[in-house]
Structure 1
């Protein structure tokens, strides 16, 4: 049986753990024999495989808007590091290897960071919106998700949610990464950009796509845990269609389990 009860760790243990996992990830980047994607091409590839966009500003309960404005600054710094990247056959896209460590010296500001079931200001906060966007686009393509982490907590209710619960990818520099591997025979191009109101993305190829995907959730439920909190669960699948709109497969994508940090079954009103 899945145990979602939070584990209490001392600040010293958390500090040492972060240092350990960060060092291990750096060694993996250096000696892991992974062929990482690094080349770019600013000329758009011929065909768009999938695109998506998300609003830059949302009214979230108890969240100061300055954190979201700072998030936009952080996205403006991170997006150019990823925009136009080409993932060739056999290569792996690493979110953090391309962006690098967000620091004040680089211009990053305090944005909203989810931590232990709540949120707090933190340097580079808000960059999960970019990893969420990329992950959502990727699962609509033949690319392979080599590494992805789900949120352990569901902090905010479904205010204007347009995607299934758990369809994003959380990220923590550098040991919680989003890594995408190209196991196909053609290169893929990732385009990401900002408008005045939205974060936008597109995955492009030079050959016309012959498969299309519809992502959906199954087995969604909420549960009262023995330690008093509610939890939320689902399984993400995708249906694969050919160019004649005939379903060819129904594939498992991932499953999600998170503690809810709000009372379920109650109407949520935006502030």
Structure 2
């Protein structure tokens, strides 16, 4: 996991290559992608979650987070109400499209190779993180998810396990969710004054309960200097009556830490 320095030209060429590859997969990959939206919510709530819109982070100007809210409002308009039929796949970027200034997107916080930068459309990872976490509590199947390669901020106020998010970058770092069930699901996402809120709803009520947890969490000195952080995410599956059914592997996470491991929570706020 030693950091690799690449020239700007090589990075730009890589972005171009992988974006073209993704366009080809969307057109010729044989998947049926969800695109239909329905204003009336499906009747049964399977999972609901919310995350705060504003967090004071060390070395991050608050204007980036206020701009993030503008970007989130535009993105949720494209996703709210989307119905994922049996056999279809939800693609985060295929539905949202490329975030550009022409569409109203503004500069927000972007994490790039462990650094905090300003970029158009910045902040949309909060939405992909929310969708990924919600999906882990449903019978839907995550078929593509990209983990964060850098752990940028300490755990102050973190309520979910390390590695439970999904990074996104148009269009090749996508979040894709397949519906392999026999009923339709619907995503609902919206903003309140203080939170980003999401729901997975469905035609029929849930029959399972999911408990996501981490194992084997470790912070390890790296041979190149610095530290690496690792864990394993799993989920326990229960009936609604509490009967244990399964214990499933979700993901193995590994990231380079961009702060001192013993940094106090007070030091993580600016």
Q: TM-score range by the shorter chain?
A: over 0.9
From 188, 193, 208, the equivalent of 1:191 is: 188
Gaps of 5+ in 1: none
Q: Quick check: 1:21 aligned with 2:18?
A: yes
For residue 182 of structure 1, what is the aligned residue in structure 2? 179
Q: Quick check: 1:220 aligned with 2:217?
A: yes
1:8 shift after superposition? 1.2
Asked if the contact 2:110/2:122 (under 8 Å) is kept, the reply is: yes
For residue 227 of structure 2, what is the aligned residue in structure 1? 230
CA distance in 2 between counterparts of 1:186 and 1:254 reads 26
Asked if the contact 2:88/2:178 (under 8 Å) is kept, the reply is: yes
Gaps of 5+ in 2: none
Give the TM-score normalised by the residue count of structure 2.
0.98
For residue 60 of structure 2, what is the aligned residue in structure 1? 63
CA distance in 1 between counterparts of 2:52 and 2:217 reads 25
1:204-251 deviation per Cα after TM superposition (whole angstroms, max 9, x unaligned): 112111101010000001000011110100000000010211111111
For residue 164 of structure 1, what is the aligned residue in structure 2? 161
* Secondary structure of 2:129's aligned partner: helix
CA distance in 2 between counterparts of 1:104 and 1:208 reads 41
For residue 265 of structure 2, what is the aligned residue in structure 1? 268
Asked if the contact 2:70/2:106 (under 8 Å) is kept, the reply is: yes
1:41 shift after superposition? 1.1
For residue 40 of structure 1, what is the aligned residue in structure 2? 37
For residue 70 of structure 2, what is the aligned residue in structure 1? 73
For residue 81 of structure 2, what is the aligned residue in structure 1? 84
Asked if the contact 2:151/2:255 (under 8 Å) is kept, the reply is: yes
Q: How many residues align?
A: 268
For residue 242 of structure 1, what is the aligned residue in structure 2? 239
* Secondary structure of 1:105's aligned partner: helix
For residue 2 of structure 2, what is the aligned residue in structure 1? 5
From 94, 118, 129, the equivalent of 2:91 is: 94
CA distance in 1 between counterparts of 2:115 and 2:151 reads 9
1:118 shift after superposition? 1.0
1:266 shift after superposition? 2.6
1:268 shift after superposition? 2.5
1:40 shift after superposition? 1.2
